Amino acid sequence: MSTFSDIKTGYERLGSTADYGLIYTCNAGWLDLGHMNPYNKRERFVGAANLWRQIEQGGPDARQSFWYDYPPDFHALHYTPEVLKAMRDDKRARLPDGSTGFRVTIEMDQPFTGGTKDSFLVRHHLADPMAKSVALSIFVMASYRFEAFQLSLEAWGIADKLSDAIRGKSFDSGFSQEDLVSNLVGFYVGVGEMTRAEALRLAHPVSEATAVAIWNRDGAVGNNKNRSFTPILSENTGRPGPNGQSVDDCTGQPKTFPREFRRIPPATYGANFIRLHPE
């Protein structure tokens, strides 16, 4: 949930490793440096890097939760009677083809409003490209569910009183313009496809003055909802310069979401990963 004051913070910290603040970029739109940060040393299930660590390490065969015999989507994924029987017999979770896998967990949260927690079964011994595709699909599903959760709080007004008391503004976090795109950029950093510096170079930040002009012209990011992982780019990236001349920090930039942030294809749900009930 970024505010206008976060722009100043973002540009003050852009040259450091700090992970808080809001910037505007020519090729990726608004980016939240917090959402872009894939690392979390305190919470082992938070962040893209922790998800990737779990997938790289693998683990023992996952077992079904105590109260359930089958995964939540077994009807939709057309499990055969033989695979269902095998799961009842040994309580090991299985993919639709009968293969076992290991459990990974991903959490997303926000102070004061809570968050979401999801578990998945991932096939053992995936090659690195497929493992990253699975990680991307899991991360996208978890990100979307978290933003939907945030939007539900916004719709019902549950979080408004807390937000007003703490930040002096209404709660408008769900699917805020910068959220999902920032998550995706951070994912590519978290799985080792690029460094933070490389990601920012591809995105190409504008100056703080231009970012302020874009905010004032286009409106608050919380009011401009984006339910996709493709950025909403400002049609006008100019600002008044010296002697009344217009300055455009994006001159010479493609103003297109870089293909480097789209090179991992998402995995098909049900082939190498499925949702699990929480433990």
Average pLDDT for runs of 10 along the chain of length 279? 85 80 97 93 91 98 92 97 97 98 93 83 98 99 93 67 52 81 98 97 97 96 94 95 88 98 98 95
User: Distance between CA 173 and CA 260 in Å, rounded?
Assistant: 27
Ordered DSSP codes for 188-228: HHHTTSS-HHHHHHHH-B--HHHHHHHHHHH--TTTS---S
Question: What pLDDT does residue 24 have?
Answer: 97
Question: What pLDDT does residue 206 have?
Answer: 97
Question: What pLDDT does residue 1 have?
Answer: 63
Question: What pLDDT does residue 155 have?
Answer: 63
The model scores a pTM over 0.75: yes
Question: What pLDDT does residue 46 have?
Answer: 93
